[in-house]
């Protein structure tokens, strides 16, 4: 009789969240995200309307970047606190708010350890921000903790199959992410959101929408994202000349595939999930 010895299962890698977060901070501080971020302002406005933000409500913008959702909420006369863990991004938002005469409180804060008491806010917002937190479950718990019962959590998150979701897959193929780290684009799927926010999500509304990236050409998009968008800026910097050429070729092919501009400028729609959660 032949005995069979079971092969031990390979251990699942536990991400070093502290090291990943430090690296992420450097990534988002590189380039100049505001060059790209300001083009996304309409997403913040649409999210504020879908969330039905009212004057006087206490609103927290998590991982606010240069403040698209922040400004949208402040324009509706909410009491807005805008947070990010990259001070230079917050400063861009502060400059925009001051230019419009909007009253916003800006504060450096980590989405995974928000410095606010339980049930401090009526609404918690994030546009293409909290989805990049390395410890996804912890970030979701923090958002749930600081919003009051009956309040709302609202987000815009890139989906896995949209332009940006596919772009991250391409970047990850050339510059692999840390072992064990889950894709940020999972935040664009209803099943993952349901798992993250659990039974406290009394109502979970997810609507898929398109944001069209509009640039002079594919080459113009490539130049902007290579020079200014942190994740792609850092990816190119990490590669040698041959690697850079291969990454550029894959990104260019994706843009040509999705371009609906008909030769009159680049128009490349990117799918995202607009999420509104009513909290118990």
Q: What is the pLDDT of residue 13?
A: 63
Give mean pLDDT, residues 126-154. 98
What is the CATH code for 20-165+175-211+272-279? 3.40.50.150
- Of the chain, the percentage scoring pLDDT greater than 90 comes to 88
Q: Is the pLDDT of residue 49 over 90?
A: yes
Query: Please, which pLDDT band fits residue 4 given cuts at 50, 70 and 90?
Result: very low
> Tens digit of pLDDT for each residue in 216-270?
999 999 999 999 999 999 999 999 999 999 999 999 999 999 999 999 999 999 9
pLDDT at 5: 40
Dihedral of alpha carbons 41, 44, 47, 48, sign: negative
The residue extents of the domains of the chain are: 20-165+175-211+272-279
Name the band, by pLDDT with cuts 50, 70 and 90, for residue 160. very high
pLDDT band for position 2 (cuts 50, 70, 90): very low
Cα separation values, 21 from 10, 104, 135, 165, 177, Å: 25, 26, 9, 20, 12
Average pLDDT score over the chain: 94
Mean pLDDT value of segment 132-146 = 97
Which residues, including other chains, have CB under 8 Å from residue 215's CB and lie 6 or more apart? 221, 224, 265, 266
- 6 has pLDDT over 70: no
DSSP per position, 126-193:
EESSGGG-SSHHHHHHHHHHHEEEEEEEEEEEE-TTSHHHHHHHHHHHHSPPPTTPPPGGGGGSHHHH
Looking up tokens 């994202």, which residue turns up? 225
Report whether pLDDT(94) > 70. yes
Return the axis-axis angle of helices 17-29 and 230-238, rounded to nearest 10°.
Answer: 100
């Amino acid at each position: 009789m032949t005995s069979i010895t079971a092969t031990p299962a390979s251990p699942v890698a536990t991400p070093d969240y502290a090291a990943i977060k430090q690296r992420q901070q450097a990534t988002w501080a590189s380039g100049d995200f505001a060059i790209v971020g300001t083009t996304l302002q309409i997403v913040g406005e649409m999210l504020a309307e879908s969330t039905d933000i009212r004057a006087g409500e206490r609103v927290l913008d998590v991982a606010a970047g240069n403040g698209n959702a922040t400004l949208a909420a402040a324009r509706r006369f909410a009491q807005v606190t805008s947070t990010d863990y990259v001070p230079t991004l917050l400063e861009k938002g502060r400059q925009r708010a001051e230019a419009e005469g909007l009253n916003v409180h800006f504060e450096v804060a980590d989405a995974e350890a928000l410095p606010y008491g339980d049930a401090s806010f009526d609404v918690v917002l994030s546009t293409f921000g909290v989805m990049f937190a390395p410890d996804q479950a912890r970030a979701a718990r923090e958002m749930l903790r600081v919003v009051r019962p009956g309040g709302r959590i609202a987000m815009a998150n890139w989906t896995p199959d949209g332009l940006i979701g596919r772009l991250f897959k391409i970047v990850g193929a050339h510059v692999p992410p840390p072992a064990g780290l889950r894709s940020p684009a999972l935040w664009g799927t209803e099943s993952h959101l349901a798992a993250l926010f659990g039974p406290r999500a009394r109502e979970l509304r997810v609507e898929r929408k398109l944001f069209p990236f509009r640039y002079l050409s594919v080459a113009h998009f490539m130049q902007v994202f290579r020079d200014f968008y942190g994740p792609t800026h850092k990816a190119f910097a990490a590669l040698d000349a041959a690697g850079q050429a291969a990454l550029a070729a894959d990104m260019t092919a994706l843009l040509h595939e999705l371009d609906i501009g008909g030769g009159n400028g680049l128009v490349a729609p990117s799918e995202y999930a607009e999420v509104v959660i009513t909290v118990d």
